[in-house]
Amino acid sequence: MKIDMNEYRNAKISNRIDKPVAGAYEFVITRVEDTVSSKGNPMLVCECDIAAGEFKDYASETAERAGFWPLTLYLAYGGKAMGLFKRNMQAIESANTAFTFDGNEKKLLKKHFYGLLTEEHYTNKHGYDDHRNRFDKLLTLEDYTKGNFTVPAPTYESGAKPETTHDPLDDLGDLPFEV
């Protein structure tokens, strides 16, 4: 057995791996790629991490533990998407003093921004209900600090939404022992 017993002794007991809930967070851009979507539309793909608070470094820790990056921001900039792209760049500029987007996507690295995460609930490949986070929209520094935003309601894939508010403890009467 190759268990690091020092790590074991110092580990905090946990029931599960915590994921961010829907809400507003401060993020940092850790990687940027200028690419095209599957439909041929130009976009920036930005890997982001939570920069402060309870879930700080959530994405990098998930990548190290599970081998994938859970927080990716897609910024389309072709055609009709240019207006939204400009709004998003202005939100990033508002969070970074003396930064003005000049068309060089590499200058977005390590830039902070504020944004809203949603929760998408789904049934995973093992048949268990789970959720993933997606970016809903970017916020200006002013909107973030003043609380000028509404946290989006969770979305549910068919089959993942709870049918009722049934209390599972009500079913304990069928057990062959007392609880």
Residue range 114-148, pLDDT digits in tens = 999 999 988 888 888 888 899 999 999 999 999 99
Q: Name the residue with tokens 């709004």.
A: 87
pLDDT higher at 9 or 13? 9
Mean pLDDT of 6-12: 79
Q: Extract the tokens encoding 8.
A: 């074991």
Least confident among 8-17, 58-67, 83-92: 8-17
Handedness of CA 160, 62, 21, 111 (dihedral sign): negative
Whole-angstrom Cα distance, residue 134 to residue 59? 12
Q: Render 83-95 in DSSP notation, one character per residue.
A: HHHHHHHHHHHHT
Give pTM, 2 decimals: 0.78
Taking all residues of the chain, what is their mean pLDDT, rounded to a whole number? 87
pLDDT tens, residue by residue, 33-80 = 999 999 999 999 999 999 999 999 999 999 998 899 999 999 999 989
The rounded percent of the chain whose pLDDT value lies above 90 is 64
Q: Name the residue with tokens 């700080």.
A: 56
Helix, strand or coil, per DSSP, at residue 137: strand
* Domain extent listing, the chain: 22-160
The residue type found at 47 is E
